[in-house]
């Protein structure tokens, strides 16, 4: 067998190993309901319930932040995040949490939030403009 063929086989083996390891490592997107059934980390997509309390008091503990999120199936849970409240959290349109359920709380190890205007500003604030043009 030619050396390059052997090497080719090794490369294919490594490529397969990479795919398998990525697949094995990959988690899934799920809901809070799914999270109660498993102990492994899940990604949950949802949005912040802005009507409920966002608890963060830096004077007591700057590493404790809790809020309520509704997942895409409409189920709502309290979420606890060990860290500071992210900037502009209230303005988030969508949240992607990574973490596990602990009792009735979801403990997030990471929060990824989608804000409409972090780097791109694509929305016109029509509310204030409407009032002015209404009289004409």
Partner 1 sequence: MDIQFKGEHLLPGQIGQFFIVLSFGAALLSCISYYFATTEDAGKTDSFWQKLGRISYFVNAVAIIGIGTCLFYLIYKHFFEYHYAWAYTSRSLPIYYILSAFWNGQEGGFLLWLFWQAVLGIVLIFRSKSWERPVMTIIALSQVMLASMVLGVEIFGQRIGSSPFLLLRQSMEAPIFSNPDYLSFIKDGQGMVPSLQNYWMIIHPPTLFLGFAAMVVPFAYAVAGLWQKKYKEWISQAIPYALFACMILGTGVVMGSFWAYESLNFGGFWAWDPVENASIFPWIVLVAGLHVMIVFKNSGHSYFTATFLVLLSNVLTWYSSFLNRSGILGETSVHSFTDLGMFWQLITGIMLFLVLSVVLLVRRYKELPITKKDEETYSREFWMFVGSVFLGLSCFHMLVVTSVPVWNEMFKTKMAPPSNIKEHYNVIQASFAFVIAVLTGIAQFLKYKKTDVTRFFITTGSYLLMAAALTALFAYLSGLYKLNFVFVLLMWGSLYAVIANGKVLIDAIKGKFKLAGSAVAHIGFGLLLLGAVISAGTQSVISVNNTGEAYSAEFAKEENPRENITVYRNQPIKMGDYMVTYLGDSISSPNHFFKINYKRVDAAGKVTEEFTLKPKVQVSKGSLAASPDTRHYLFSDIYTHITLTNAITPVEAGSESAEAAHDADNDDKNYDAPIAHEVKAGDTIKYRDGYIVLKALNKETKVQNIPLTDSDVAIGADLEIVSNGNKYSARPVYMIKNGNVFDFARKVDDAGLKLRFSKVIPEHKTVEIVVFQQPESKKKFVVMKAIQFPYINLFWGGSIIMVIGFFMSILRRKKELKVV
Among 32, 68, 96, 106, binds partner 1 (CB under 8 A): 96
The burial of 86, by beta-carbon neighbours within 10 Å (0-12 exposed, 13-18 middle, 19 or more buried), is given as: middle
Binding of partner 1 by 88 (CB under 8 A): yes
Binding of partner 1 by 53 (CB under 8 A): no
Strand 61-71 vs strand 94-102: parallel, antiparallel, or unpaired? unpaired
Binding of partner 1 by 133 (CB under 8 A): yes
56: phi then psi, degrees, rounded to nearest 5: -155, 125
Binding of partner 1 by 14 (CB under 8 A): yes
Closest CA to 98 of 85, 111, 88: 111
1: number of Cβ within 10 Å: 6
- Kindly indicate which of the ranges 46-54, 68-76, 82-90 contains the residues binding partner 1, using the contact rule CB under 8 A: 82-90
Under rule CB under 8 A, which residues in 101-130 are in contact with partner 1?
Answer: 102-103, 105, 107, 109-110, 112, 114-124, 126, 129-130
Handedness of CA 98, 75, 45, 32 (dihedral sign): positive
**Binding-site ranges for partner 1 (CB under 8 A):** 2-4, 7, 11, 14-15, 18-19, 21-23, 25-29, 40-43, 45, 56-64, 66, 80, 82-85, 87-88, 91, 96, 98, 102-103, 105, 107, 109-110, 112, 114-124, 126, 129-130, 132-133, 136
């Amino acid at each position: 067998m030619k050396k390059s063929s052997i090497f080719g086989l090794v490369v294919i083996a490594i490529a397969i190993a990479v795919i398998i390891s990525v697949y094995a490592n990959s988690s899934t997107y799920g809901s809070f309901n799914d999270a109660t059934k498993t102990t492994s980390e899940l990604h949950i997509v949802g949005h912040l319930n802005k009507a409920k309390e966002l608890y963060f008091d830096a004077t007591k503990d700057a590493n404790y932040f809790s809020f309520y999120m509704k997942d895409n199936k409409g189920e709502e849970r309290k979420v606890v995040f060990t860290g500071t409240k992210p900037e502009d959290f209230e303005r988030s349109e969508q949240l992607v949490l990574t973490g596990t359920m602990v009792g009735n709380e979801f403990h997030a190890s990471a929060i990824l939030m989608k804000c409409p205007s972090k780097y791109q500003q694509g929305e016109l604030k029509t509310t204030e403009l409407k009032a002015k043009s209404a009289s004409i």
